[in-house]
């Protein structure tokens, strides 16, 4: 059975001691400070001198900042996450100049994620324990699943979310066994009433995770609004609200993982529509429901799991008239209102709107896959830094990319 190697991140909860929590909190603040200073330095150099500053110059500036009496506290934390912060800024600028992302923004203490990344020189891994630089004790990690046998972590990222939960993400090489070849293919149409409709006729109901906890969330937000700004009670109320959000996000992610894994395991080819969620959430009446459905997250999972397990993900042009095209005879209806969920073709076949669309999506995807679509140049996703090949034909793309943009 074919195997492949890939870098995978394994994320775990951990519970720091008071000393570790204090050290990591200082490190988070220093990483944010260095990132913001370097961003301001590079921005000023460009607008005043039309000069680009690279990573080496930013690193030299960091050395100078450490000698300055004002930010001398930068010497109290490990230098590794500070250097990694500069690397992240360099990547952000590279993505901006390559027109893959917007101009880098300053990190906010309240809004930005509190995290620090340690490269191989910034931590020790031995006997299943990880000890970070500047710390005497290993992290108390809850090993909910084992690391790959013989794994040697290359980076360790420590983070604290708004719900005051601590996580460690360990990046290492993993051997992935590709799934046996299958002759099954499925078309997938995303929606709000049914989260997905499959070309087999199956409809997966939308769990509506956010709606289930909407009352709890509203109560937590009301309590937060009543607390005085800057008070300890407000911080407690903010954490309480964040925990409700975290429960919603965790349930949503777990559900999408199960669904995407099932589709990839059962089908050799998965065909989806290429929809622009960013544009769709501008609809004020549906924005909340669309965000809760998390179509972008679902597509992202399908993309990397298909790449891992040797499956093919085909992306179809969103402007193709899937709903109005009869999957039995090929007749195209001139008009079909959005509120019409069933319709009868002139050939006498009665269609469920969504199921008919998925059958057409599947047919178009298989045609594109069989014909061999034109190859587009390799591109580098902005967040991962890894290249991905995207192949495109008329109305469809065979997509292994990691930049989701769909309904």
Enumerate domains of the chain plus CATH numbers. 3-177 (no CATH), 185-207+256-399 (3.30.420)
Residues 262-312: pLDDT tens digits? 999 999 999 999 888 888 888 888 999 999 999 999 999 999 999 999 999
Torsion of CA 65, 38, 40, 112, to 10 degrees: -110
| Residue 323 scores a pLDDT above 90 | no
Q: Which residues contact 191 (CB under 8 A, 6 or more apart)?
A: 197, 206, 293, 354
φ, ψ of residue 11 in degrees (nearest 5): -105, 135
Model pLDDT, residue 9:
94
Helix (H) or strand (E) holding 41: helix 18-49
Active-site residues: which are they?
189, 273, 354
At which residue do the structure tokens 């309480």 appear?
A: 240
pLDDT digits (tens, 9 = 90+) for 175-208: 999 999 999 999 999 999 999 999 999 999 999 9
Q: How far apart are CA 209 and CA 245, in angstroms?
A: 10
pLDDT band (50, 70, 90) for residue 130: very high
Mean pLDDT, residues 37-65 taken together: 92
Place of tokens 């995303």: 190
Spatial strand order in the sheet of 194-198: 203-205, 194-198, 185-190, 269-274, 312-317, 396-399, 390-393, 374-375
Measured distance CA(127)–CA(247) in Å, rounded: 32
Query: With 60 as the cut, is the pLDDT of residue 398 above it?
Result: no
Distances (CA, A) of 120 to 50, 172, 242, 260: 36, 11, 32, 33
Q: How large a percentage of the chain has pLDDT more than 90?
A: 68
Long-range pairs for 196-205: beta carbons < 8 A, 24 or more residues apart: 196/259, 196/298, 197/354, 197/355, 197/357, 197/358, 198/358, 199/355, 199/358, 199/359, 199/361, 199/362, 201/352, 201/355, 203/354, 203/355, 204/259
Report the chain's mean pLDDT, rounded to a whole number. 88
Distances (CA, A) of 219 to 163, 238, 358: 16, 12, 40
Residue whose tokens read 């934390």: 77
Residue 119 pLDDT > 80: yes
CA 227 – CA 236 distance, rounded (Å): 10
């Amino acid at each position: 059975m074919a195997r492949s190697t890939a870098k995978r991140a394994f994320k775990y909860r951990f519970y720091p001691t008071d000393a570790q929590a204090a050290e990591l909190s200082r490190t988070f603040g220093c990483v944010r400070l260095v990132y913001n200073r370097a961003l301001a330095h590079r921005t000023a150099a460009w607008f005043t001198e039309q000069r680009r500053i690279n990573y080496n110059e930013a690193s030299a500036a960091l050395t100078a900042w450490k000698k300055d009496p004002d930010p001398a506290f930068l010497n109290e934390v490990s230098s590794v996450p500070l250097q990694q912060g500069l690397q992240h800024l360099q990547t952000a600028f590279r993505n901006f100049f390559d027109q893959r992302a917007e101009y880098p923004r300053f990190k906010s203490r309240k809004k930005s994620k509190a995290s620090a990344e340690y490269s191989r020189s910034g931590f020790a891994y031995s006997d299943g324990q990880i000890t970070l630089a500047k710390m005497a004790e290993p992290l108390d990690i809850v090993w909910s699943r084992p690391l790959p046998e013989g794994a040697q972590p290359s980076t360790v990222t420590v983070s604290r979310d708004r719900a005051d939960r601590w996580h460690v993400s360990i990046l290492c090489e993993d051997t992935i066994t590709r799934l046996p070849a299958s002759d099954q293919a499925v078309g997938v149409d995303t929606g709000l009433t049914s989260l997905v409709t499959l070309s087999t006729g199956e409809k997966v109901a939308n769990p509506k995770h956010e709606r289930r906890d909407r009352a709890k969330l509203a109560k937590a937000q009301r309590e937060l609004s009543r607390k005085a700004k800057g008070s300890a009670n407000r911080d407690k109320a903010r954490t309480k609200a964040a925990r409700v959000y975290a429960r919603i996000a965790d349930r949503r992610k777990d559900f999408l993982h199960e669904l995407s894994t099932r589709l990839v395991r059962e089908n050799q080819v998965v065909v989806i529509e290429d929809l622009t969620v960013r544009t769709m959430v501008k609809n004020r009446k549906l924005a909340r429901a669309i965000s809760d459905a998390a179509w972008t997250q679902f597509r992202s999972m399908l993309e990397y799991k298909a790449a891992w397990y040797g499956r093919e993900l085909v992306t179809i042009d969103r402007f193709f008239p899937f709903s109005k095209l009869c999957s039995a005879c090929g007749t195209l209806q001139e008009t079909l209102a959005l509120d019409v969920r069933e319709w009868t073709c002139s050939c006498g076949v009665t269609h469920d709107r969504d199921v008919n669309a998925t059958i057409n999506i599947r047919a178009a995807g298989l045609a594109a896959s069989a014909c061999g679509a034109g190859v587009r140049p390799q591109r580098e996703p902005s967040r991962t830094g890894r290249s991905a090949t995207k192949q495109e034909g008329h109305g469809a793309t065979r997509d292994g990319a990691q930049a989701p943009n769909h309904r």
